[in-house]
Structure 1
Amino acid sequence: MACEFQSSSKTEIMQTTNYNSTASIMHMSTFSQYLFPFGNFIFPVIIWSSVKDRSAYVDQQGKEVINFQLSIFIYQVVLVLTAIPIFLMTILQHVEFNSVIHDNEIFIRSIRTSGFPTLAIVGIVAVFLAACLQLFEFFMTVYAAVKTSNGQDFKYPLAIKFLK
């Protein structure tokens, strides 16, 4: 009976270690976004969906990964949709083109710009925040992978709970 307990205990430890590793790999798989478009969604979902029924821990961490990645995506889309129109408005309102049309060709002789508009600062701040958000995502993902490899629960800050 003692041997039975020890072998089942070893099996549980090995399964727990495997699930910790799976959770950690799931967090790290979000870095595939740098190689594949939407890899930060695709690979964690594949890993999560293949293991979620066998481990409550992997299920919970998979939801955390997906929620965080969706949240970061939404935040960045909002920032980019804020920055692009502001930059385009700024350029079109404050740049004067002096051009000549000759034989159906347009020749731009000069481009003059007037002062640095205050609205452009909002666009610059939006781009800066998007870059900071990307760095935040990188470091939080590494931190999450380390925590989950040790079997600790991890909850991303700023994550909207799409999956509960």
Structure 2
Amino acid sequence: MVLTNEKNTATFIHLSTLSQYIIPFGNYIFPIIIWSSKKNESEFIDMNGKNAINFQLSMFLYTMVAAVIAIPVFIYSIFNNTTITNIHDGRDFIIDHFHAGNVSGIVILAIITVLLFCFLKVIEFILIIYASAKASNGEAYKYPLTVNFIK
């Protein structure tokens, strides 16, 4: 049987990852602080803390992979056929540069990667809320697609 205090702490660990929307790296700092201060008190808190932190680290890994693909492709596609004089002439650079003839397979890959990133952030938010509800009910929840960095 899981005590109410343990349920509340585990729920707060999951919900503290949402601080990323207000405080940079809050999704790592606050769960680690709460988990490390309470992990020896309860196996339930320890398990939920590890799951929340591992999920956040996994999301960071997936985000970095998406950025490594998308950012260089966008930079390359923007500056591929552009000279400094085209930008400095006062012409509307964006409208002149982006039209259907300039869209290549690699740009489509970058767009898909950005859409995948947005999808990951939405799924991350939903899974955090779901894991918080499970922890509040005293149930164990393991996030999908999580690499176990902390065992």
Could you tell me the TM-score, scaled by structure 2's length? 0.89
Contact 1:98 1:109 in 2 (8 A): no
User: Which structure is richer in relative contact order (CA contacts within 8 A, separation 6 or more)?
Assistant: 2
Q: Which amino acid aligns with 1:68?
A: F
Pair 1:90–1:55, CA change in 2 (3 A): same
Q: State the match for 1:161 in structure 2.
A: 148
1 CA distance for matches of 2:144 and 2:33?
23
Q: State the match for 1:129 in structure 2.
A: 116
* Equivalent pairs, count: 145
Larger radius of gyration: 1
Equivalent residue in structure 2 for 1:86, among 73, 88, 94: 73
Pair 1:109–1:30, CA change in 2 (3 A): closer
1 CA distance for matches of 2:122 and 2:81?
32
CA-CA distance at 1:116 after TM superposition: 1.7
Q: State the match for 2:89 in structure 1.
A: 108
Q: 3-state DSSP class of the match of 2:139?
A: coil
Does residue 27 of structure 2 align to residue 40 of structure 1? Answer: yes
Does residue 56 of structure 2 align to residue 75 of structure 1? Answer: no
Equivalent residue in structure 1 for 2:13, among 26, 29, 40: 26
Contact 1:30 1:43 in 2 (8 A): yes
Could you tell me the TM-score, scaled by structure 1's length? 0.82
Gaps of 5+ in 1: 1-12, 100-105
Gaps of 5+ in 2: none
CA-CA distance at 1:161 after TM superposition: 0.4
Structure with greater helix percent? 2
